[in-house]
Amino acid sequence: MPMNTLPDLIDDLPPEVVEDLPPTIIDQIRNEGLESLPDDIIDQLPDTVVDRIPSEFLDVASTNPALTALLVIVGLLAIVGFFYGVAKSAFKSALFFGVVAAGAWFWFFNA
């Protein structure tokens, strides 16, 4: 299945999408200077219209595997860092209260 060129893809857009697009965006798409619709333009369109836009025009994280992998790695590191911080705080708290308990026990039996 051959891939459409960008000027062909503008013809595949629903008419209500083309009507809602600024003329400069349409010109950029026709001249192949724009590979995807800007997020602010997509946010202005109704969901029913956005659902009919070809996926070639939507720039999402899943279209860039490197970005997706980077976001997953950063998220995993954040989770590991969170649990490390909680464990470190729990250890410091247990150590502090262990020292307080040992001091209280020593003071109680020597008094």
pLDDT score, position 1: 39
**What's the CA gap between 69 and 78, in Å, rounded?**
14
Residue 28 domain-assigned (yes or no): yes
Q: Is 6:35 a contact under the CB 8 Å cutoff?
A: yes
pLDDT score, position 23: 73
pLDDT score, position 62: 58
Q: Which of 6-15, 49-58, 102-111 has the lowest mean pLDDT?
A: 6-15
Q: Position of tokens 């857009």? A: 13
Residue 1 domain-assigned (yes or no): no
Q: How many domains does the chain have?
A: 1
> 51 lies in which domain range?
6-59
Residue 98 domain-assigned (yes or no): no
21-42 pLDDT per residue, tens: 667 667 766 765 555 666 666 6
Is this model's pTM higher than 0.85 or not?
Answer: no
110: alpha, beta or left? (left if phi > 0; alpha if psi -120 to 50): alpha
pLDDT score, position 55: 65
Of the ranges 3-7, 9-13, 61-65, 75-79, the best mean pLDDT one: 75-79
Residue 74 domain-assigned (yes or no): no
Mean pLDDT over all residues of the chain?
77
